[in-house]
Amino acid sequence: MDTFEAFSPLHGVVLLVIAALTAIAIIVRRRRAPNTEPVGPFERSYAIAYLLFWVGTFIWLRVGPLYDPLTTYPLQLCHWCGVFASLVLLTGQRILRAILYFCGIGLCTQALLTPLLVEGPALFPFWFFWMTHGTIIGVALYDVVARGYRPTARDYGIACLTAFAYVVIVLPIDLATGWNYGFVGPSKPDVPSIVDLLGPWPERLLAITLISGGVMGILLVPWLAARTFTARR
């Protein structure tokens, strides 16, 4: 199993595994006594293990046989959302929770549903990809359902500023090197992707900006509606 294809049976199995593990973690957390410590031993252990895995992976990718400047630097937004997910588990810091919810669910879910991954389970990139994206989406949902995070309009603004800052940092790197981290550079992925539908560069930068802001905004709407409904009761 050296290769992976989006929308294949293997893709479906991976998504089901991520969903099942997330559901189990949520159920276990919600059954904890309310007076227990805010950060449980499992949360702490998983967060630390993932951070060590993340650091070790990028060191190995830099010096090992899989080194490729187009893909192996930690410059994708999802790379850092994985770090934020671990820090959310460890600290519960609200800014990190905001970034994880809006950028993680709003932007990184696309990679979960339409992955550009081509390596299969026999190769390490498969495991790093799914560990990262499973952690992002799983912890974001866990934070809302099990730990009670409730997004606000201010949180949405923080996430938008973070996404904008990411583009400001990564776009010059892409332009100077010919890379395409964040999909904001002039080049396109080697495999079919949603970027193909967004038009030529640089016009597609506007489309990416509007779509990203809109998707994150949609994630805010239910919470604003719930607060409005509660206030009127």
Looking at residue 190, what is its pLDDT?
76
For residue 95, being part of any structural domain is answered with yes
Task: Show the domain range for 114.
Answer: 9-232
For the stretch 114-142, pLDDT in tens is 999 999 999 999 999 999 999 999 999 99
Looking at residue 130, what is its pLDDT?
98
For residue 209, being part of any structural domain is answered with yes
pLDDT band per the 50, 70, 90 thresholds, residue 33 = low
For residue 104, being part of any structural domain is answered with yes
pLDDT band per the 50, 70, 90 thresholds, residue 4 = very high
Provide the sign of the torsion angle of the four alpha carbons 178, 184, 187, 188, taken in this order.
Answer: positive
In this model, does residue 155 exceed pLDDT 60? yes
Distance, CA of 46 to CA of 133 (rounded, Å): 15
What is the b/e burial string over 90-105, where b = at least 16 CB atoms within 10 angstroms of the residue's CB? bebeebbbbbbbbbbb
Distance, CA of 37 to CA of 48 (rounded, Å): 17
Query: Considering its fold, how many domains does the chain have in total?
Result: 1
For the stretch 87-114, pLDDT in tens is 999 999 999 999 999 999 999 999 999 9
In this model, does residue 35 exceed pLDDT 60? no
For residue 4, being part of any structural domain is answered with no
For the stretch 166-219, pLDDT in tens is 999 999 999 999 999 999 999 888 777 788 888 899 999 999 999 999 999 999
For residue 3, being part of any structural domain is answered with no
For residue 2, being part of any structural domain is answered with no
pTM over the 0.85 mark? yes
Looking at residue 34, what is its pLDDT?
60
Looking at residue 37, what is its pLDDT?
66
